[in-house]
Amino acid sequence: MPDGLLEKRSGHTQSVSRALSLLSKLAEEPNGLNLSELARRVKLAPSTAHRLLTTLQLDRYVRFEDGRWLVGVQAFNVGSTYMRSRDISHMARPYLRMMMQETGETSNLALIDKDGNNLMYVSQVECPQLMRALSKPGAKAPWTCSAVGKICLAHLKQNSVSQIINQTGFTQFTRKSIMEEGVFLREIAKAKQLGFSIDDEENSDGLRCIASPLFDSNSKVIGALSVSGPSVRIEEQKLPNFGRVTLRTAKELTRALGGIWPS
């Protein structure tokens, strides 16, 4: 790597670290801090601290009021998303374990982020089989070629569906990947009617996945539960039964979370 690029990246990393240290100090002070006191606590020159703070202010991670810097609304949003994911993951564990035991395959929980732009796997219970499907927590789920993505899109408003499809498009991961919007929209309409969607080797050759949605107290979709495994074990004739399992479990977890299943 060229020296200049290394220095540039190091500088960027240092700036991020310094910005986070400022945010962490502000989190300790509910009434905020003035610039000189904040700079002193993080051992930065006031000019450097001010430059970083104004950058954070643009993205609403901090705010400036009455001569003091305070934590901004975006920092709250990030923290709330983490707490929401952690709490739902904790409550979902017994339901994921139950699905795994009933189907013999790996079970997953995926949640839509606060902005509604991404769908992420946040929890998983692996099956004991040597050959199994893995969607590690923290990995993003593709919207158009995963069962969790399809069932969430099936319950989003049409303008949100169009926006997501326009942003992500369709990717040919396998020969079974759906590449036409009309075909895809019919697929998710069918999934909405059934209460579960199927990824039939659309994201990865030899893997199938079945998913059902989760809802909040306003009947808004917040994510999905799924079961995934090799297609040699999840044969086509098993798909309806797996769908019934994910649908029943998703309804039970939705109720446990205080959510309301749409009528």
21: CATH: 1.10.10.10
Q: Which two tokens stand for residue 100?
A: 């795994």
Residue 229: what residue type?
G
Whole-number pLDDT of residue 220: 94
CA distance linking residue 191 with residue 151, whole number of Å: 6
> Which of 71, 94, 110 delimits the end of a domain?
71
| pLDDT recorded at residue 7 | 40
Residue 36 and residue 139 share a domain: no
Residues 163 and 63 in one domain: no
Among 29, 49, 71, where does a domain finish?
A: 71
pLDDT given for residue 89 in this prediction: 85
Q: Residues 170, 237: one domain?
A: yes
Indicate whether 76 belongs to any domain: no
Mean pLDDT of successive 10-residue stretches along the chain, which has 263 residues: 43 80 87 92 93 92 92 74 67 94 95 85 85 70 94 95 91 93 95 96 94 94 95 94 97 91 88
pLDDT for residue 51: 93
Question: How many other C-beta atoms lie within 10 A of the C-beta of residue 44?
Answer: 17
Q: Residue 96 domain-assigned? A: yes
Is there a single domain that holds both residue 124 and residue 248?
yes
Do residues 106 and 43 both lie within one domain?
Answer: no
Same domain? 52 vs 109: no
What is the C-alpha to C-alpha distance for residues 213 and 247, in angstroms, rounded to an integer? 8
Angle between helices 158-168 and 181-194 (to 10 degrees): 130
Give the pLDDT confidence score for residue 86 in this predicted structure: 59
